[in-house]
Structure 1
């Protein structure tokens, strides 16, 4: 079955412990709902630098990554359907991309 990368971009900054706890609960609920599809729940992303042939920028670029997960799904449409309920939607986005196996 194909694997898909969920690349989370943006999201709101949480200011209080109560907001953080509520957001963690939302993510846990979503992960519980898609648990059969999760290959790697991933992690939030910290400081980022975007590297190009002209150097790098410290802020992660125009659409910085905030986290990732890897899931399995029948096809990209099924993966997109899963991503639609992601807690980041509304304050950020989920980029869905198929992962192709490559061996060296």
Structure 2
């Protein structure tokens, strides 16, 4: 079955421990709802730098990555349907869905 990368962009960090617990529960519930399709729940990521032939840009560029996950899905349409339930969407973030190509 094909694997898909969910690349998370944007969102915001919880401001209180209570909000943090609520956010973690939303993510845990979302992953649980996808069941065995979740290959790697991934992690949030820290500050990044973009490396190109012309040099290195700080702060991850125009749309910095904020985290990732890896899921199994029968098609990109099925993966997109799963991504539509992502909790990051509720805090202004987005999910980029791309197939991880087997080589």
The alignment partner of 2:42 has SS state of coil
Provide Cα deviations, 1:12-38, integer angstroms capped at 9, x if missing partner: 232111111110010001001002201
Runs of 4+ in 1 over 6 A off after TM superposition: none
Give the drift of 1:9.
0.5
Give the drift of 1:53.
1.5
Unaligned runs of 5+ in 1: none
Does the alignment pair 1:55 with 2:47? no
Q: How far apart, CA to CA, are the structure 2 residues paired with 1:48 and 1:58? A: 7
Aligned residues: 102
**Counterpart in the other structure of 2:32:** 32
The alignment partner of 2:30 has SS state of helix
Give the drift of 1:58.
1.5
TM-score by length of 1: 0.94
**Counterpart in the other structure of 2:93:** 92
**Counterpart in the other structure of 2:45:** 45
Q: How far apart, CA to CA, are the structure 2 residues paired with 1:80 and 1:26? A: 18
Give the drift of 1:85.
0.4
Q: How far apart, CA to CA, are the structure 2 residues paired with 1:40 and 1:94? A: 16
Give the drift of 1:89.
0.8
